[in-house]
Chain A
């Protein structure tokens, strides 16, 4: 069993994004970057499946310029076996990313692909589903539990009403939700070992995919800010204000 885990380099989740003065985009200059938290959960799940003897190989892939090799090395330190960077400095949409990943799925023939359900920068929540469509594979999105068997996988999904469990034939695409696992930290010896693990670079242009996004970003603005509030001194004052000032309770 072979597992492919696509990962993304994004703004660190503790950092609040700021909009550029010219409203062209978010300013990422000198901002701390990290692996998307949902991708960390995906790497962790794949590594655990390997540790349980249910998978033989975990391959991580990231699409981006050379800087995403940092996150690939992190994934190798967390237990992935080898890494692939699809080299591109284009601004890609989820569809272009899914098409590139499809080329890799065709080449590597993994039994399972595990992705994060959304990246915390573009907040799209699309790539895994698109990859599943392009490869004509079943999908188990927003997973909080993954039971991998020889010829199928059972995925428990976090849905608006609670939990839903589906059974998917293999190969399959899974996207992770927060409760799937708690990712480990990389140990120093594993970080050292990761430096010697294979990292292959494939130019995106070699994969024959149209990379131009046809969704144009016209502008990026700050959201409207909330006006300053007040501190009330007591529950009685709070209730009085909610009734008579805000008029939100009767």
Chain B
């Protein structure tokens, strides 16, 4: 068996998702090659070469891959695919974008969002907003898989693999990058943080999210949100936790003014400890909370900030 794992990065930094995906890959077994495709990203390749369990890093440094356009990145991975039995990527928005393209071009059904490896061809994955877990087996010679990184620990950074540059340029000429608006934050990323504090519709407006910021700063936490808070424009889309947003599983998840709809629970119910603060004692969030506080968030949050 030989695995090609496509790294998640932003050309300057390797994302934690990659370390978690490598851990998933090592449960499959076989040699692991990491592909770093981007522009001016040799630093990322060097970082990837230190991941435990990685035997080789391929560096495709070319303007065609700068923004991970699915048409170009997909073509690159398909071009490399013949050497590998498994093609893996973290189920980030990048992985979700190009991997099904790879699968279709290889005439293989993709297995999305795996949460465990049961064998080299058998995996589990959540379906129906995590209300059921399916065990699936792929009969294809080649497996194309995306990994739900919240379900895996990080691989360590004690290795030293060789980095090999590949000259390939796959420019499909179908799409081009126009612009991006990235949310700047000093805090850890949602999917990397060990503490997450999220606000819902109960926060009433974006300004009130400051009440969460103070606590987040003290706890080194990331700040998330429910769909309702994003839809209402309180906070940007990249803060949405849930079935169709980001999946998190931190040591501590604090849900504030969030009712606990199945779609929200799907994104956080595997957190180790869940705290819910809600003024409605009947809110479904209390059914998954280890510690529930029935209170008005506008009173509870300032008190919480001063007492931690």
Q: Tell me the A residues contacting B by CB distance below 8 Å.
A: 11, 13, 16-19, 26, 38, 93-95, 98, 117-118, 120-134, 136-142, 144, 154, 157-169, 177-179, 213-223, 226-227, 229-232, 234-236, 238-239, 241-242, 246, 248-249
B305 to nearest A CB, angstroms? Answer: 10
Residues in chain B near residue A121, CB distance under 8 A: 127-128
B157 lies within 8 A of chain A by Cβ: no
Does B211 sit within 8 A of A, measured CB to CB?
Answer: no
Given A123-B126, A129-B70, A162-B236: A178 in contact with B101 (beta carbons within 8 A): no
A-B contact number at CB 8 A: 264
CB within 8 Å for A95 and B237 given contacts A17-B128, A167-B175, A231-B294: no
A94 close to B273 (CB less than 8 A):
no
CA distance A95 to B144 in the complex (A): 12
B272 to chain A, nearest CB (A): 7
25 CB contacts below 8 A, A to B, read: A19-B132, A26-B127, A95-B109, A98-B104, A129-B97, A132-B71, A138-B172, A160-B94, A160-B246, A162-B181, A163-B180, A164-B67, A164-B177, A164-B179, A166-B69, A166-B176, A167-B176, A178-B231, A217-B135, A220-B127, A220-B133, A229-B290, A230-B290, A241-B291, A249-B195
A219 to B116, CA, bound (A): 14
Query: With A126-B100, A235-B293 as given contacts, are A223 and B133 in contact (CB-CB < 8 Å)?
Result: yes
> Could you tell me the distance in whole angstroms from the C-beta of B268 to the nearest C-beta in chain A?
11
A141 to B136, CA, bound (A): 26
Contact size range, B: 35 or more
Choose one: B70, B92, B127, B130; the contact of A141 (CB below 8 Å): B70
By beta carbon, the residue of chain B nearest A17 is B128
Tell me which residues from 62 to 118 in chain B have a Cβ below 8 Å from any Cβ of chain A: 67, 69-71, 74, 92-94, 96-105, 107-113
Q: Label chain B's interface by main secondary structure.
A: mixed
The distance in angstroms between the C-alpha atoms of A98 and B100, with both chains bound, is 11
Are B182 and A162 neighbours in the complex by a CB distance under 8 Å?
A: yes
Q: Are A229 and B180 in contact (CB under 8 A)?
A: no
Q: How far is the CA of A202 from the CA of B136 in the complex (A)?
A: 30
A21 to B227 alpha-carbon distance, docked (Å): 32
User: Which of chain A's residues have a CB closer than 8 A to the CB of B98?
Assistant: 129
Residue of A nearest to B299 (CB): A235
Q: Which of B253-308 contact A (CB under 8 A)?
A: 262-263, 269, 272-275, 281, 286, 288-295, 300, 303-304, 307-308
